Amino acid sequence: MHQHPSPNSGPRKNGLTPEIIVIHYTAMQSAGAALQRLCDPVAEVSAHYLIDRQGRVTQMVPEEQRAWHAGQGEWHGQDDINSRSVGIELDNTGAHPFPEPQMAALERLIRAIMHRWDIPPQNVIGHSDMAPGRKQDPGPRFDWARLAMQGLAQPAAVTAHPAAPTADRFRARAKKAGFSAPVDDETLLRAVRLRFRPWATGPLAPEDLSVLG
């Protein structure tokens, strides 16, 4: 674990402690460039951790402190995600797969954070989960199934649903799963698919409800 303190942090509000882990990608060309931005007071962004493509982990903000990584959004009806979460940035442009050393380091880090703060798998989320439409990271190339198989994220469900799902039923299922941000039906569908069915296209399908349970 390497240390590179960022000035872009502060106390968690209202006595909150971490109950969510939010995974991001940096959308920059290198980990060095991302680290510089995440520690630049002018940029006013940060995260608790950055993992480069070789699996090197750098801590910028102590977990007890509030990093500025999530922005506006909500999960399970709760806002101020910054005060409720630990943010992890992955060195990735958004256009290429996540290397094995990086994924292995991420798994070790998530497991440790979950243990320290008693965070359940269903609260390990992507930036796109809590900010549908506004954010799409960690993107369609991120291997959520790999994390789910180890109990480090919520797996896709396999529940059968009617052949003609309705938008209202889909919205209710998505909200129960945590997708509570106030967005339109199309944006919500894209967010759920990005998490559980990134290859899917077209109108709402029974499988979109099935993965939500």
State the catalytic residues.
Answer: 89
Tokens of 81: 């995600």
- 23 is written with which tokens? 């995974």
Number of H helices, E strands in the chain: 8, 8
Considering only CA atoms, which of 146, 140, 155 is closest in space to residue 194?
140
What angle do helix axes 185-196 and 167-177 make, rounded to 10 degrees?
A: 50
DSSP run (H or E) holding 59: strand 57-59
3-state SS class at 155: coil
Tokens for 70?
């999530």
Rounded distance between C-alpha atoms, residue 68 and residue 60, angstroms: 11
For the record, the structure tokens of 72 come out as 């506006």
How far are the Cα atoms of 34, 85, 134, 167, 183 from residue 127, in angstroms, in the given order? Answer: 17, 11, 9, 23, 15
Other Cβ atoms closer than 10 A to 155: 16
